Structure 1
Amino acid sequence: MTLGLAMAVAAPAAGPAFAFDQQEGAVAEPQQNVRSLFKFGFSAYKSGNKDEAFRAYRDAAEHGHAGARWKLAHMYAAGDGVAENDYEAFKLFQGIVREGAAPGSQESTFVANALVSIANYMRRGIPGSPVRANPDQARNLYWQAAADFGDPNAQFELGRMFLEGEGGPSDARQAARWFNLAAGKGHVGAQAMLGQMLFERGQSVRGLSMMTAALERAEPADRAWIRQIQEEAFAVATESDRRTAMVLAEELKAQ
């Protein structure tokens, strides 16, 4: 599927059609109801009542609540309280992006995350749906989330695509730039990748220390691949560099 996502991002649609009362600051009842639905869904989810949460999020999402769309999309993507359906998640993420958000607003976080989620789907496609793999489009979407919203996950994925030449030409300098930006925001994967790049360019101590610190901080889902690159570097480093890197890694972890 050749999606016009760049179109959807560049020209967001108008917001939901809930009006404000004539008196300044008075919010019309429909908007209050939508917020109440979202809050009810949030409470139900936290209590483990995911069926009720799903229904509340669905109703709030149908009336344009960005947070409800975002929660509902992730429930579909993970099969969390509802049958897993990546295409339904994809369409909900699209709706968030089309809606847009003012820079710095809470909704801008939803838009950035939705861009990354759509890019993830575009990168590999969704079997059994019209969404076909399109790495070029995925790279463009990561770029938008990384550059316009400063999203560290987008910066990390964009760095990987530049490093591997996925969705366009490879560019190690661009890869390092995006890894560095994400690493500065605490993204463990970016810290590990930047460390590997530094190690391969002869900065053995700094590179190994960054990979080691990243391994200590990593979540279980990332630990295996970070351990692999850290152990490969550790195996070829000199004993002196290893000892120095371990000390520096402790300092990095403490920061």
Structure 2
Amino acid sequence: MSLSPTKATIHGIINEYRVDANFQVEVWSKQSQQLIARINSLLDAFRTSSLVQKNPELTHLAHRNFQGPGQFVETLLQRGINIHYAQGNRLSFHQGLQGGGLGSSRASSSTSAEDQYQMGLNFHFGKNGKTTDFVEAVKYYRLAADQEHAWAQNNLGVCYEYGMGVTKDLVEAVKYYRLAADQRHAGAQNSLGFCYYKGEGVTKDLAEAVKYYRLAVDQKHAMAQNNLGFCYYKGEGVVEDLVEAVKYYRLAADQGDAKAQRSLEQIYSKHPHLKLAATASSSARSPSNPKRSSTRSP
């Protein structure tokens, strides 16, 4: 089933989230606390980013009162400012070409992988004078992907998975997710793990699913933390271990992951002793106990 432009857009903006076939609907819902929390964290990071510090004209934008987190993302896209995830949970923000932006003829004819990727985003989102056109988005994503642009490879994988601008092809989706995952794209690692978990586009292999979830978890990817927690909870691809499940659910929950928060509540209701242990551990990591906190591994 192909996604509508509205639902597809959220995949391009934040490809951090993935857990089941209906997840894109949950992500787009205005009631999704996970999305709201994540975008709010983006706003906080943007306000202190080097892009804002080096460009005084963006200071007003950084500190304006947005009417909901969605308006923040929309404003960034309109300004040609793109969100990139670096190692761990750090964020960087990059502004598009000056003047006419990436909708200019200069960008259209550019052979730069980054410019081609940005043009793909323009057609994906219908920005910078472009109307939403998934076929054109795929065209530019492919040009950039052929130059080993990890974000373009990931987005091309999304397009193949959901049939946006191309015929739905899960094998091709896996191909591009793998290319991006090999370049340490956390979202692609999580998506590839999910493909192995479901057996979509690749032979089902729970051990491989766990492998890729863990790679994304190493970069503090919230949904991968949730998914790895689920694997430990169910004993899928790993030995069942409630303590490990709680560990990864809590990591995701601390990043605002609503599914992980619900899973923790369910586990704690059945196993109160785990909640007590988690509370004690949290107290040990508090600023009032710096010595114990500093020795605890992530």
User: What TM-score does the superposition give when structure 1 sets the normalisation length?
Assistant: 0.66
Query: In structure 1, how many angstroms separate the alpha carbons of the residues matched to 2:225 and 2:243?
Result: 14
Residue 7 of structure 1: aligned partner: none
Matches within 5 A, 1:151-166: 151-166=185-200
Higher percent of residues as helix: 1
Q: Do the aligned residues in 2 keep the contact of 1:213 with 1:249 (CA within 8 Å)? A: no
Residue 132 (str. 1) matches residue 167 (str. 2)? yes
Residue 180 of structure 2: aligned partner: 145
Query: In structure 1, how many angstroms separate the alpha carbons of the residues matched to 2:196 and 2:269?
Result: 27
CA apart distance, 1:54: 3.4
Given candidates 110, 113, 117, the residue that maps to 1:66 is: 113
CA apart distance, 1:212: 2.0
Q: Do the aligned residues in 1 keep the contact of 2:190 with 2:216 (CA within 8 Å)? A: yes
CA apart distance, 1:168: 2.4
Residue 254 of structure 2: aligned partner: 216
Q: Deviations over 1:5-40 (max 9, x none)?
A: xxxxxxxxxxxxxxxxxxxxxxxxxxxxxxxxxxxx
Which residues of structure 2 form unaligned runs of 5+?
1-76, 82-94, 286-292
Percentage of pairs with the same residue: 19
Query: In structure 1, how many angstroms separate the alpha carbons of the residues matched to 2:168 and 2:282?
Result: 39
Residue 90 (str. 1) matches residue 90 (str. 2)? no
CA apart distance, 1:170: 1.2
Q: Which is bigger in relative contact order (C-alpha 8 A, separation at least 6)?
A: 2
Q: Deviations over 1:30-82 (max 9, x none)?
A: xxxxxxxxxxxx9x6469999921333x4134131222222221122123343
Q: Do the aligned residues in 1 keep the contact of 2:103 with 2:122 (CA within 8 Å)? A: no
Are the structure 2 counterparts of residues 116 and 241 from structure 1 closer, same or farther at C-alpha, using a change threshold of 3 Å? same
* Structure number with bigger Rg: 1
CA apart distance, 1:216: 1.9
Q: Deviations over 1:113-137 (max 9, x none)?
A: 11111111111112xx5x1111112
Amino acid at match of 1:241: L
Query: In structure 2, how many angstroms separate the alpha carbons of the residues matched to 1:83 and 1:51?
Result: 19
User: What TM-score does the superposition give when structure 2 sets the normalisation length?
Assistant: 0.57
Are the structure 2 counterparts of residues 216 and 136 from structure 1 closer, same or farther at C-alpha, using a change threshold of 3 Å? same
Q: Secondary structure at the match of 1:217?
A: coil
Q: Do the aligned residues in 2 keep the contact of 1:165 with 1:171 (CA within 8 Å)? A: yes
CA apart distance, 1:175: 0.5
Q: Secondary structure at the match of 1:180?
A: helix
CA apart distance, 1:179: 0.6
Query: In structure 2, how many angstroms separate the alpha carbons of the residues matched to 1:246 and 1:206?
Result: 15
CA apart distance, 1:142: 1.3
Given candidates 157, 160, 179, the residue that maps to 1:119 is: 157
Residue 241 (str. 1) matches residue 274 (str. 2)? yes
Which residues of structure 1 form unaligned runs of 5+?
1-41, 102-110
Q: Do the aligned residues in 2 keep the contact of 1:209 with 1:248 (CA within 8 Å)? A: no
Q: Secondary structure at the match of 1:211?
A: helix
CA apart distance, 1:230: 3.7
What is the RMSD computed on CA atoms of the aligned residues? 3.2
Are the structure 2 counterparts of residues 49 and 141 from structure 1 closer, same or farther at C-alpha, using a change threshold of 3 Å? closer
Query: In structure 2, how many angstroms separate the alpha carbons of the residues matched to 1:145 and 1:249?
Result: 35
Q: Deviations over 1:127-154 (max 9, x none)?
A: xx5x11111121122122212x122111
